[in-house]
Amino acid sequence: MPPDEFIEQVKQALEHLYDFAALQRSPLASQWAGGPGGQPLSHQLRRALITAVETLSPDSRAAHDTPDARIYNLLHLRYIEGITVQEAANRLGLSTRQAHRSLRRGEESVAAILWHRRPSPPPDSSPALATGDPPSSSSAQQLSSVQAEIAQLGTHLQPVDIRPLLAEAHTAVSPLAHALDLTFALDMPAEAVIISVDTAVTRQIFVSLFSRVLKVAQKDSLHIRLAAREAQVREAQVREAQATLTISYVPQGGEAADMIDDVLTRLIQRLGWVVRVEEGRDGRCALTLNLTGRGALILVVDDNEGLVELLDRYLSGHDCRVVTTASGAEGLQLAQELRPDALILDVMMPGKSGWEILQILRSQPHTATIPIIICSVFNDPDLAYALGASRFLAKPISRDHILDALRELKVVQT
């Protein structure tokens, strides 16, 4: 069991889960330095807290009235959903005293998880670090490994026009092209090509590919073309484009170089893209990227940032891509533009409510058949189904609940 002081720090951090300024001031924040993507300590601490709460989620086969389920549900309702202890107690059929007692046990459990997972040991716990000695070479190698770097990347997909990212990459490698006395142009459609990507990861992939091909291509042989299926280009405002990027060139010395190393391979796989390399009889090489990720596209619309992060984590690794928004109005627009394979929708949001969004989507031909899963703290499945919901899940929800619903709707595979 961690010290009482640490447990109290965890409780205070949970109380301020959505207050980044307070999390930044927390004594816990410094222990999450050096996290993924150079994120602020407050963001890293919040993610660690949410992950610790989720670790306590009971197996879906467990009864909902077991002590473990009660503790997890209280933590989720109180801190992830942000309702009061009294409201959570009423929701779960508990007395206020029972709720406080179980919640305290939950806070202690979260603290215990964080105590063992903290990336930075507490002061004086490591003689080498306490005396200022450098970490071992094996530790440094492990931290700098490709696998560790890629695993720490946070991939946040958003629908964007891919053309500006290609143009930025072209500009970034222009000095190298000039130094090598090479020129190349981008052949792109006049219309927007909307793809759901992580912009930072995508930009790095393009820059790396362009840089590598410039070093091996013969002069005046490089051609880069972005193509979208014609039918999808005409529907760019209602559906994500099916697009490919082709880089063709004649290699110096007549032998193709292997431009896709382990780092690029992992980044490309992270976006769900497919890469193909071909050598033609005329000596030209062509590297083709299918920019439309594999798997289902799932749109999550919920103004609770912590829950959105959980849903994103729940679905990662299940052959699907996740686009998230905290705005009901934006969610409605994205649903109409992207026509996702499934939509996970909260009910209580500022502006347009989930009920209103559900009715609008069901009334329009392009979105009428999208599977929509309503997730709400208000347990009213009859209303949800009457308005056209495909499934209803009462909050708090677990990974198994979401995946089971998506499997039943044949959005993800078993």
What residues contact 300, with CB distance under 8 A and at least 6 apart?
Answer: 308, 311, 312, 322, 323, 324, 325, 343, 344
Report pLDDT for 353.
86
Report pLDDT for 361.
94
Fold of domain 296-408: Rossmann fold (3.40.50)
- Kindly report the number of other CB atoms within 10 A of residue 164's CB atom: 13
- Domain ranges across the chain: 4-144, 158-290, 296-408
How far apart, in whole angstroms, are the C-alpha atoms of residue 303 and residue 300?
A: 10
Report pLDDT for 372.
96
Report pLDDT for 246.
92
Query: What pTM does this model have?
Result: 0.51
Q: Which parts of the chain register pLDDT below 70?
A: 32-40, 59-65, 119-157, 229-241, 254-257, 293-295, 316-319, 414
Tens digit of pLDDT for each residue in 277-313?
A: 888 777 888 888 888 765 678 888 988 877 777 777 7
Report pLDDT for 240.
53
How far apart, in whole angstroms, are the C-alpha atoms of residue 49 and residue 27?
A: 14
Residues forming beta bridges with residue 227, ordered by sequence position? 244
158-290 CATH pick, 3.30.70.20, 3.30.565.10, 3.75.10.10, 3.40.50.1820:
3.30.565.10
Cβ atoms 404, 391 nearer than 8 A = no
* Torsion on CA atoms 330, 336, 342, 347, rounded to nearest 10: 40
How far apart, in whole angstroms, are the C-alpha atoms of residue 341 and residue 104?
A: 40
